[in-house]
Homo-oligomer: A and B are copies of this chain.
Amino acid sequence: MVDPRAARRAIRAGTHTGHTAGIAPGYVQGNLCILPREYAEDFHAFCERNPKPCPLLAISAPGDPRLPALAADLDIRTDVPSYRVFRDGEFVEDLRDIRHLWRDDLVAFVLGCSFSFEEALIEAGVPVRHIAQGRNVPMYLTSIDTEPAGPFHGKLVVSMRAFTPQNAIRAIQITSRYPRVHGAPVHIGKPELIGIEDLDQPWVGDATQVRADELPVFWACGVTPQSVVRNARPPLCITHTPGHMVVTDLTNASLVSTP
């Protein structure tokens, strides 16, 4: 599917239920975090204090399922292929539709996602293994603390991509130009220094090979809210299921920073 509107229609109709990697290339996809209004202000502050894992793309008005800044037709209750429901900070279930859970006090936050910079890497000739293999990126819970805001606190989640040293340098240069989709990496080369003991055991996602001539490179990840929600324990929180993102009409090219 090359058109983001067609992609959302297929997701809404239930004909596309898988992850969204490779869907609507050239268009921004986003991480989702829906919270009751009483948690929204603190979560907004959390995003602003942690712009690398939580680069804010848009916030809905309370109770309004639309996000016209991202796409005119977007309905956040139906347009994500898989939702993850947390109650009191605990995972409850993954759902394909959340219309029955929608309430007048819910606020939807959409955060930038690494799919945008991965496209820039591939266009620059820097191969990304998990994409070539059709797998989800491996994500790890680190020992790095986020900046807390109200009840939201916890450890940073990172995604990992393996590159040759030369491509790692290029990947740092390229992703530095995309601060609204996680920007430059937070770590390179020594996973044990950020509390990752075994690269073969990701927190979520699929393990990816790191060859002997490669370095693992780590980016702040938009799944971080799913880590801090476990600590904040809001009565209800709905996120996307990892890899199943909000497809928007914004172009990746529009996110490039010009320093």
Chain A residues at the B interface, C-beta cutoff of 8 Å: 165-166, 168-169, 172-173, 176, 184-190, 193, 213, 215, 258-259
* A168–B190 CA distance with the chains assembled, in angstroms: 12
* A166–B172 CA distance with the chains assembled, in angstroms: 11
Quick check: B188 and A168 within 8 Å, CB to CB? yes
A173 contacts which chain B residues (CB < 8 A)?
172-173, 176, 184
Chain B: minimal CB distance from A11 (Å): 35
Quick check: B190 and A188 within 8 Å, CB to CB? no
| Most chain B beta-carbon contacts within 10 A, residue among A172, A187, A258 | A172
* A189–B210 CA distance with the chains assembled, in angstroms: 14
Quick check: B169 and A193 within 8 Å, CB to CB? no
- State whether A184 and B169 are in contact (beta carbons under 8 Å apart), knowing that A189-B215, A213-B193, A215-B190 are contacts in the complex: yes
A188 contacts which chain B residues (CB < 8 A)?
165, 168-169, 188-189, 215
| Most chain B beta-carbon contacts within 10 A, residue among A169, A258, A259 | A169
Chain B: minimal CB distance from A160 (Å): 13
Chain B: minimal CB distance from A124 (Å): 13
The one of B166, B193, B259 that contacts A187, using a Cβ cutoff of 8 Å:
B166
A176 contacts which chain B residues (CB < 8 A)?
173, 176
A168 contacts which chain B residues (CB < 8 A)?
188-189
Number of copies: 2
A166 contacts which chain B residues (CB < 8 A)?
186-187
A–B pairs, 6, beta carbons within 8 Å: A165-B190, A166-B186, A169-B184, A169-B185, A189-B215, A190-B213
Chain B: minimal CB distance from A222 (Å): 19
Chain B: minimal CB distance from A215 (Å): 5
A184 contacts which chain B residues (CB < 8 A)?
169, 173
- Name the CB-closest residue of B to A214: B190
- Name the CB-closest residue of B to A193: B213
Chain B: minimal CB distance from A38 (Å): 36
Chain B: minimal CB distance from A182 (Å): 13
* A213–B185 CA distance with the chains assembled, in angstroms: 17
Chain B: minimal CB distance from A162 (Å): 12
| Most chain B beta-carbon contacts within 10 A, residue among A190, A213, A259 | A190
Beyond the given A168-B189, A173-B173, A189-B189, please list 16 additional residue pairs across the A-B interface where CB-CB is below 8 A: A165-B187, A165-B188, A166-B186, A166-B187, A168-B188, A169-B172, A169-B185, A169-B186, A169-B187, A169-B188, A176-B176, A188-B188, A189-B215, A190-B215, A193-B213, A258-B259
